Amino acid sequence: MLAQYARATALAFFMLPFAWAGQSLAHEGVTTSAKIKPVVEVAFVLDTTGSMGPLIEGAKRKIWSIATAIVDANPDAEIRMGLVAYRDIGDDYVTKTYNLTNDIQDLYANLLELKARGGGDWPESVNEALHVGITKLAWTQGAEICRIMFLVGDAPPHMDYAQDVKYPELMRMARERDIVVNAVQAGGARDTERVWREIAQMGRGRYIPIPQDGGHLVVIETPYDVEIIELQGRINGTVIPYGPRQQRGSVEQKTRQVTAAPRATATEMAGYMARNAAKNSGEAITGAGDLVADVKAGRQQLAAVKDDDLPDNVRTMKPAERQDFIDKQSANRKALNERMAALVQQRDRYVLDQAKKGPTRTADSFDRAVEETLRAQIKR
Query: What's the gap between Cα 300 and its chain centre?
Result: 24
Residues forming a β-bridge with 207? 183
> What's the rounded Cα separation, in Å, for the pair 173 and 125?
18
pLDDT at 26 > cutoff 50: no
Listed range (10-19, 34-43, 83-92, 318-327) with the worst mean pLDDT = 10-19
- Give exposure, 73-85, as e/b (b: 16+ Cβ within 10 Å): bbeebebbbbbbb
SS3 of residue 102 by DSSP: coil
* Residue percentage of the chain with pLDDT more than 90: 81
| Predicted local confidence at residue 5, as pLDDT | 38
Establish if 288 belongs to a structural domain: yes
- Same domain for 296 and 325, yes or no, is yes
> What's the rounded Cα separation, in Å, for the pair 105 and 239?
14
- Same domain for 116 and 82, yes or no, is yes
- Same domain for 85 and 170, yes or no, is yes
The CATH number covering residue 59 comes to: 3.40.50.410
The tens digit of pLDDT for each residue in 267-311 reads: 999 999 999 999 888 999 999 999 999 999 999 999 999 999 999
- Same domain for 311 and 185, yes or no, is no
Establish if 166 belongs to a structural domain: yes
Residue 364 phi/psi, 5-degree rounding, is -110, 20
Confidence of residue 359 (pLDDT cuts 50, 70, 90): low
- Same domain for 175 and 53, yes or no, is yes
Ranked by mean pLDDT, the top range of 23-27, 85-89, 211-215 is 85-89
Which amino acid, 263?
Answer: R
Query: What's the gap between Cα 344 and its chain centre?
Result: 20
Establish if 249 belongs to a structural domain: yes
pLDDT at 92 > cutoff 80: yes
Query: Terminus-to-terminus CA distance in the chain, angstroms?
Result: 57
Angle at 155 between CA 154 and CA 159, to 5 degrees: 150
How many domains are there within the chain?
2
| Predicted local confidence at residue 303, as pLDDT | 96
- Same domain for 56 and 128, yes or no, is yes
SS3 of residue 208 by DSSP: strand
Are 186 and 151 a contacting pair, CB within 8 Å? no
Residue 181 phi/psi, 5-degree rounding, is -115, 115
> Which sign, positive or negative, has the C-alpha torsion 200, 374, 366, 66?
negative
Domain boundaries, position 94: 39-216+362-377
Report the predicted TM-score, pTM, of the whole model to 2 decimal places.
Answer: 0.88
Confidence of residue 6 (pLDDT cuts 50, 70, 90): very low
- Same domain for 231 and 139, yes or no, is no
Who has greater pLDDT, 109 or 219? Answer: 109
The tens digit of pLDDT for each residue in 183-235 reads: 999 999 999 999 999 999 999 999 999 999 998 876 889 999 999 999 999 99
Confidence of residue 34 (pLDDT cuts 50, 70, 90): low
Establish if 98 belongs to a structural domain: yes
Establish if 184 belongs to a structural domain: yes
Average pLDDT over residues 132-146: 95
SS3 of residue 358 by DSSP: coil
The tens digit of pLDDT for each residue in 166-188 reads: 999 999 999 999 999 999 999 99
- Same domain for 54 and 191, yes or no, is yes
Establish if 144 belongs to a structural domain: yes
Helical H segments across the chain, by residue range: 2-27, 53-73, 104-113, 126-135, 167-176, 190-202, 225-236, 245-260, 263-279, 291-296, 312-315, 319-357, 366-377
- Same domain for 233 and 186, yes or no, is no
- Same domain for 343 and 370, yes or no, is no
Establish if 30 belongs to a structural domain: no
Listed range (135-144, 325-334, 353-362) with the worst mean pLDDT = 353-362
Establish if 254 belongs to a structural domain: yes
Confidence of residue 115 (pLDDT cuts 50, 70, 90): very high
Confidence of residue 253 (pLDDT cuts 50, 70, 90): very high
| Nearest CA among 282, 278, 258, 253 for reference residue 269 | 258
Residues forming a β-bridge with 40? 79, 146
pLDDT at 67 > cutoff 50: yes
